[in-house]
Amino acid sequence: MCGIAGFISLREGMPGPTPEALTRMAAAMFHRGPDEFGVYCDDRAGLAHARLSIIDLSSGQQPLGNLDDSAHIVFNGEIFNYVELRAELEAQGRRFKTKSDTEVIVAAWEAWEERCLERFNGQWAFALWDRRRRRLVLSRDRLGVRPLHVAEHGGYLYFGSEVKAIFAADRAIPRALDPAALDQAFTLWAPVAPATPFEGVRELEPGTFEVLDLSGPSPSRTTRAYFVPQFLERGADAHEAAHSSVAEAAERTLGALEEATRLRMVRADVPVGSYLSGGLDSSLVAALGLRALGEKFKTFSLRFADAEFDETPFQQEMVDRLGTEHASIVVSREDIAGVFPEVVYHAERPLLRTAPAPLFLLSRLVRQSGIKVVLTGEGADEVFAGYDLFREGKVRRFWAKHPRSSSRPRLLERLYPYLARSPVDKRTIAMSFFGRGLDGAHKPGFSHDMRWRNGAALKRLFSKEARAATAGRDVAAELLATLPAELSSWSPLSQDQFIEMKTLLSSYLLSSQGDRMLMANSVEGRFPFLDRDVVTLAQSLPSRFKLRTLDEKHVLKRAAEGLVPASITTRKKQPYRAPDALSFVGAGADYVEEALATSAVRDAGLFDPEAVSRLWSKCKTSKADGFSKADNMALVGVLSTQLLHERLVTRPPRLPDIELRTFIDQRSKP
């Protein structure tokens, strides 16, 4: 796992990239790859790389050139089926100078061009510069596990794993938060690619590639999708899916997950550990990891000082069953407040929840334990329909068929059992709340509409300037307009899953809780549930196999039988959560008062100072049960945005001293 960056001059005759600028870009990503740093530059293009060594260093240093040095690549991620692809390419007569998956990417692009992306099973972002053809190729994996950002300024195109690498290239690159992206973040929970929180910076969308061609009189750019999630089930009552029974589907699911986990365990030259939350997903992954390795390995857990969020008994039961070498960390509200500024710096986006902070602390524990790679259960809820949002959508659609029914809405009482202040506790209020918009049950986005409306209400805190900049926009409607035409023919659950993948999987879950919190401490995360073949299989399953009545991830629970204790597979769902706004009250964190001070809010220009002051005062005087979910999200969202402005807009990126162990200067070559 690594950090990649670089820039390219868009016009002939402009000064080429400099080693000094590329070195700054690599240094800004020190945390992503502290083991080795390298740059390449010629008269038009420059590449920078910060390496976290997972596969032996002798496999090739980056930036890596092909056999005749006509093309160079920087690569962040893993191609888990590179051994098989290499054998196929060798059979075609291609030769290799290293044993790395990085070189396989170059050879595969030369052999198959964009068709190679469909053949890769992995998690990646890469930049490939073909010096002879004057072409830059950028690509990102199917579901956006690994990030890649792009910006243009002053006749140059810049790219980087993280925005801070782009900002480090040149102090003249504008740095400002984009109100339009904040509009998305405070409605959808995150800006959706290609949007980012920063003006002038875009994110390459998951499952796409971009080719910048400089061979002609003027630059030309082509961006295309090579992957769009496709659900095979058609219609609300479809029965023509290719699986005859849940038992057969469970067997195939287990087989696909077992192979996905095995690949992620064996394709590494360093020990691989596993997260263990106490839930179904991570427990199954850890069990399959042990099966693949055949010997004891390390597992890691989060525990909470607040009992409401803690899952220690289930974690310990799984540890006892597997016999792993286990380590855990107990996280308090004060711990969350203590690391939150660092969390925001690495997340590079507004956060509406503090959930990333404990994961930052957990990855730090992993690194301190001598582990560079961990398996996690991320993606299972999106792929196998595990979220309460999916169950809520099913209940509300069922209710919408008979909106006057008094019995159908009682199914809502089976939702959110883990919340201390569940929205279904008071029946009259719950029926009014969940009964809104039932006449739109047939429309795409119905399941998400309540979340989006509740999020949009947070924009009451926007400043006059931010409200003016976003006036007349409906970000939910804009999102729905981008959905593929075939979505309307899919089952309601398939529609809901697609939208969740589109809006939150990459933009929020993998960004703020996955890649960023792991790489902040130089740890690579691997996600078996996001394996190409696992995802393809899951999307072919009938909805009733995944959400059986209101039993979420039903087929996955069946697949886990015998590997995970029944106490875990049958427990009521408890999604990962952490203490939110009240973590910042009385925590001794002076930065909170400074960030929310009237002068600081006014200087940033994004929020109304008086509204923020009232919200913060309410938080400080509220008891745990007196601060609503909406207030929690608002306070965390405002604080994280203020910190984002302070850490990445008003200050330059941190640039530790690094030693460039590789520098390839091709300026003198034709």
- pLDDT, residue 670, reads 31
In this structure, the strands spanning 272-275 and 298-304 are parallel
Q: How far is CA 20 from CA 38, 163, 171, 361, in A?
A: 12, 18, 13, 33
Q: For residue 483, what pLDDT band results from cuts at 50, 70 and 90?
A: very high
Percentage of residues in the chain having pLDDT higher than 70 = 92
When pLDDT is averaged across residues 233-241 and rounded to a whole number, the result is 49
Amino acid sitting at position 507: S
591-639 tens-digit pLDDT: 999 999 999 999 999 999 999 999 999 988 876 556 788 889 999 999 9
d(CA 140, CA 148): 7
d(CA 3, CA 29): 6
What contacts 668, CB < 8 A, 6 or more positions away? none
- pLDDT, residue 234, reads 56
405-454 tens-digit pLDDT: 888 888 887 787 655 555 555 666 667 778 888 888 999 999 999 889 88
Is residue 122 pLDDT above 60, yes or no? Answer: yes
- By the 10 Å C-beta count (0-12 exposed, 13-18 middle, 19+ buried), 253 is classed as buried
Picking from 402, 383, 67, 49, the residue whose alpha carbon sits closest to that of residue 231 is 383
Picking from 117, 151, 110, the residue whose alpha carbon sits closest to that of residue 8 is 151
Q: Please state the pTM of the whole predicted model.
A: 0.94
d(CA 342, CA 164): 13
Phi, psi of 273 (to 5 degrees): -105, -170
Q: In the Cβ-directed half-sphere of 315, how many Cα atoms lie within 13 Å?
A: 20
Q: For residue 243, what pLDDT band results from cuts at 50, 70 and 90?
A: low
Q: Which residue has the higher pLDDT, 581 or 234?
A: 581
Question: What stretches of 186-343 adopt beta strand conformation (E)?
Answer: 201-203, 208-213, 220-225, 272-275, 298-304, 325-331
539-597 tens-digit pLDDT: 999 999 999 999 999 999 999 999 999 999 998 878 888 999 889 987 667 899 999 99
Q: For residue 198, what pLDDT band results from cuts at 50, 70 and 90?
A: very high
DSSP-based three-state secondary structure for 422: coil
Is residue 669 pLDDT above 70, yes or no? Answer: no
- pLDDT, residue 131, reads 95
When pLDDT is averaged across residues 470-499 and rounded to a whole number, the result is 94
When pLDDT is averaged across residues 355-381 and rounded to a whole number, the result is 97
- pLDDT, residue 625, reads 54
Q: Which residue has the higher pLDDT, 663 or 145?
A: 145
Helix or strand (DSSP H, E) at 27: helix 19-28
When pLDDT is averaged across residues 21-35 and rounded to a whole number, the result is 94
d(CA 574, CA 578): 12
When pLDDT is averaged across residues 259-274 and rounded to a whole number, the result is 93
- By the 10 Å C-beta count (0-12 exposed, 13-18 middle, 19+ buried), 535 is classed as buried
Q: In the Cβ-directed half-sphere of 634, how many Cα atoms lie within 13 Å?
A: 24
In this structure, of 40-54, 272-286, 516-530, 543-557, the range with the lowest mean pLDDT score is: 40-54
Q: In the Cβ-directed half-sphere of 293, how many Cα atoms lie within 13 Å?
A: 21
- pLDDT, residue 571, reads 87
- pLDDT, residue 434, reads 82
Picking from 395, 608, 657, 387, the residue whose alpha carbon sits closest to that of residue 499 is 387
Q: Is residue 373 a contact partner of residue 2, using CB atoms and an 8 Å limit?
A: no
Average pLDDT, the chain: 91
Is residue 661 pLDDT above 80, yes or no? Answer: no
DSSP-based three-state secondary structure for 490: strand
Is residue 360 pLDDT above 80, yes or no? Answer: yes
45-60 tens-digit pLDDT: 999 999 987 765 455 6
d(CA 161, CA 203): 9
- pLDDT, residue 429, reads 65
Q: Provide the CA 389 distance to its chain's centre, in angstroms.
A: 19
Sign of the torsion angle spanned by Cα atoms 46, 50, 56, 57: positive
Percentage of residues in the chain having pLDDT higher than 90 = 76
- pLDDT, residue 237, reads 42
Is residue 464 pLDDT above 60, yes or no? Answer: yes
Q: In the Cβ-directed half-sphere of 84, how many Cα atoms lie within 13 Å?
A: 10
